[in-house]
Amino acid sequence: MKSIRSMIGGAALAAVLLSACAPQTVVVTKEVEKQVEVTRVVEVEKVVEATPVPATIIKVTSTNGPDENSGTQLARHRLLTLGFKEIRPDVDIVANPSPFDASTFPARLAAGTIEDTYLVAFTEPQNMIANGYAADITDLLSKWEGFSSFNPGVLQVVQDANGRVYGLPVNGYAIGLLYNRALFKEAGLDPDKPPLTWDELREAAKVIKEKTGKFGFQLMPATGEGGWLFTAIAYSFGANMIEKKDGKWVATYNDEATVKALTLLKEMLWEDETVKLVQDGVAAATSLTNGEAAMHIKAPDLLFWMHDNLGAKVENYGQGPMPQAGGNATLTGGAAWMFSPKASPEVLQAAVEWSIYRDFDLATYELDLKTKKERGELVGIPSLPLFTGDYQARRDEILKKYINVPLENFAPYLNATNITMKPEPPVEAQKLYTELANVLGAIASDKNADPQQLLDESVKTFQTQVLDQVK
């Protein structure tokens, strides 16, 4: 036992911390796999406890810890921390079950009581980075073998203009079209063929309204999320929102592309009357689950919420790519782990190593999927590959074993190859989304609103109030 343990410990250490070649990682994974069964936690515990405790213990705190009421989650976490203890016996992991909360984050960061690492949605990192509230982990990551094969399209979410990395994305989903297959069938539309262009979408919405009486489409004209989704829509029309011209940042979202996007939405809302307005994410999820509207611009990760929280049946839903109108682009959603700028270097290093071990170690990945499947949660909703090449291939192999969603429903989404993942607007994206929500709100409440005029005014205000102040 002891010799295997030290072999595993040594091999894992080598694999994770130093540049090791692929074959060794495979060996390590197979060995650790044998210990993955939850019932053997106690044995591993005894072994770890036999190790002498190092003089100084580094404590790493994180959010999104295991639910204290879930036996499986607790067991999984226990095994993870034990496995990590073998690599870094001087590190204690304390995982707080609370999630990240934007309202309490500033206070806790100011006081230094924020966790060392926290899981945030993709809309947060750029804002944090720009304000200096994210720790630069580029150097710590470069020691990790897997880093070089990280998918750049996803990594850009946590990078600044100079390519420095400030976080670790753990999933990424291209925003596309989430639709209700059952309603499509009822309206006589082919559920395997969601609309691929905006004109097609407009037609489909009309048909659904006519044949089923339900709304064909739903729109979120409020909150930052609404502005973010509209940005994705505008991207699909070819807009850029904010561009750099002659060294200055210029708001360009009153261009032809954005106006076209906004006009289409307005006409669908007021003329076709095929659009349901939803106030926020909860309303959007509820409305889709209830079958009140058939299509929604969103990434497929909403299905997790709809299924786990609201009891939706996954077979009834499908995902298509973002409908296009010349832009061939869309935005990405997802979650990333960020690191506290107030963490000391040792803590930061330990936190990064822990993150890599927890999320990218193949054995724990498999255990995770296994646990999710046992709990009845969804496994296999298509997401952007986090890595490229060999490592990703191995991850995909593992995933195939546990998929419990009907992948055919996502075929159009997976097969769309000519759509680019465009990064978020380069500066002040949060303020842009708030401003866009404003414009959308005007369209939603005023039948006679003029998209061109609204966008012109908005661009003018945004340029003078926001972009001109950026140094």
Partner 1 sequence: MCAESAADPEMNLTPALNPPRARLRLLAALRRNAVGYFFLLPALLAFATFSWYPIARGFIISFQKYDLVKGAEWVGWSNFEFVLNDPLVPIAWRNTLQFTVLGLLIGYLVPVALAILVNEMKRGKSYFRLAYYLPVILPPMVSVLLWKWFYDMDTGLFNAILQGLGLPTQRWLFDRNLVMLCLVVLSTWANAGGTMLLYLAALQGVPSHLYEAAEIDGAGLWRRLWHITLPQIRGVMLILLVLQIIGTMQLFTEPFVMTDGGPANATLSVVMLLYRYGFRFYNFGAAAALGLILFFVLVAFSILYLWLTRRVSQSQ
Partner 2 sequence: MARSLPLNLSRLRARASGPAQFDANERTLISPLELRSPAKRAAYWLVFGALVALTITTLFPIYWMYSGALKDTSELIRMPPTLLPTQARWENYLKAWDNLNYTRYFANTLILAFGALVIQLVVSTSAAFSLSKLKPAGGRIVLFLFLSTLMVPSMAYLIPAYLTVVSLPIVNIPLIDTWWGVWLPGAASAFNIFVLKSFFDEIPQDLIDAANIDGAGAARILAQIMIPLSRPVLAVVSIFTLIGTWKDFFWPFLVLSKVELQPIMVALWRLSARMQEPLNLIIAGLAIASTPPIILFLIFQKQIIRGITLTGLKG
> What part of residues 255-284 is at the interface with partner 1 (CB under 8 A)?
276-277, 279-280, 282-283
Instruction: State the Cα–Cα distance between residues 61 and 118, nearest whole angstrom.
Output: 9
User: Between β-strands 176-180 and 248-251, what pairing exists: parallel, antiparallel or unpaired?
Assistant: unpaired
Query: Taking contact as CB under 8 A, which single stretch among the options 41-49, 100-108, 165-173, 356-364 is the one that binds partner 1?
Result: 100-108
Q: Which of 211, 373, 394, 431 binds partner 1 (CB under 8 A)?
A: 431
Site string for partner 1, 168-197 (x = CB under 8 A): ------------------------------
Q: Which of 21, 27, 42, 110 binds partner 2 (CB under 8 A)?
A: 110
Among partner 1, partner 2, none, partner that 26 touches (CB below 5 to 8 angstroms by kind): none
Query: Taking contact as CB under 8 A, which single stretch among the options 147-155, 220-228, 258-266, 392-400 is the one that binds partner 1?
Result: 220-228
Among partner 2, partner 1, none, partner that 80 touches (CB below 5 to 8 angstroms by kind): none
Question: SS3 string of the chain?
Answer: CHHHHHHHHHHHHHHHHCCCCHHHHHHHHHHHHHCCCHHHHHHHHHHHHHCCCCCCCEEEEECCCCCCCCHHHHHHHHHHHHHHHHHCCCEEEEECCCCCCCCCHHHHHHHCCCCCEEEEECCCHHHHHHCCCCCCCHHHHHCCHHHHHECHHHHHHHECCCCCECEEEEEEEECEEEEEHHHHHHCCCCCCCCCCEHHHHHHHHHHHHHHHCCEEEEECCCHHHHHHHHHHHHHHHCCCCEEEECCEEEECCCCHHHHHHHHHHHHHHHHHCCEEECCCHHHHHHHHHHCCEEEEEECCCHHHHHHHCCCCCHHHEEEECCCECCCCEECEEEEEEEECCCCCHHHHHHHHHHHHHHHHCHHHHHHHHHHHHHHCCCCCCCCCCCECCHHHHHHHHHHHHHCCCCHHHHHHHHHCCCCEECCCCCCCHHHHHHHHHHHHHHHHHCCCCCHHHHHHHHHHHHHHHCHHHCC
Q: How many residues bind partner 2 (CB under 8 A)?
A: 30
Q: How many CA atoms lie within 13 A of 101 on its CB side?
A: 8
> What part of residues 33-92 is at the interface with partner 1 (CB under 8 A)?
none
State which amino acid sits at residue 299: A
Would you count residue 305 as binding partner 2 (CB under 8 A)? Answer: yes
Select 263 or 286, whichever has its Cβ closest to partner 2: 286
- State the nearest-atom distance from the C-beta of 279 to partner 2, in Å: 13
Among partner 1, partner 2, none, partner that 131 touches (CB below 5 to 8 angstroms by kind): partner 1
Q: Which of 22, 110, 407, 414 binds partner 1 (CB under 8 A)?
A: 110
Site string for partner 1, 111-130 (x = CB under 8 A): ----------------x---
Query: Taking contact as CB under 8 A, which single stretch among the options 88-96, 214-222, 345-353, 370-378 is the one that binds partner 1?
Result: 214-222
Would you count residue 437 as binding partner 1 (CB under 8 A)? Answer: yes
CA angle at 98 for the pair 97 and 103, rounded to the nearest 5°: 170
Select 277 or 325, whichever has its Cβ closest to partner 1: 277
Would you count residue 104 as binding partner 2 (CB under 8 A)? Answer: yes
> What part of residues 261-300 is at the interface with partner 2 (CB under 8 A)?
286, 289-290, 292
Query: Two tokens at 170?
Result: 């753990």
Query: Taking contact as CB under 8 A, which single stretch among the options 83-91, 104-112, 427-435, 456-464 is the one that binds partner 2?
Result: 104-112
Would you count residue 309 as binding partner 1 (CB under 8 A)? Answer: no
Would you count residue 452 as binding partner 2 (CB under 8 A)? Answer: no
Among partner 1, partner 2, none, partner that 16 touches (CB below 5 to 8 angstroms by kind): none
Would you count residue 199 as binding partner 2 (CB under 8 A)? Answer: no
- State the nearest-atom distance from the C-beta of 106 to partner 2, in Å: 6
Cβ-Cβ contacts under 8 Å for 356 (sequence gap 6 or more): 16, 144, 146, 168
**Four-CA torsion 61, 130, 464, 329, nearest 10 degrees:** -100
Among partner 1, partner 2, none, partner that 407 touches (CB below 5 to 8 angstroms by kind): none
> What part of residues 327-356 is at the interface with partner 1 (CB under 8 A)?
341-342
Select 73 or 223, whichever has its Cβ closest to partner 1: 223
Q: Which residues contact partner 1 (rule: CB under 8 A)?
A: 102-103, 105-106, 109-110, 127, 131-133, 215, 221-224, 276-277, 279-280, 282-283, 292, 341-342, 430-431, 434, 437-442, 444-446, 461, 465
**Contacting positions for partner 2 (CB under 8 A):** 64, 67-70, 96-99, 101, 103-104, 106-108, 110-113, 286, 289-290, 292, 304-305, 308-312
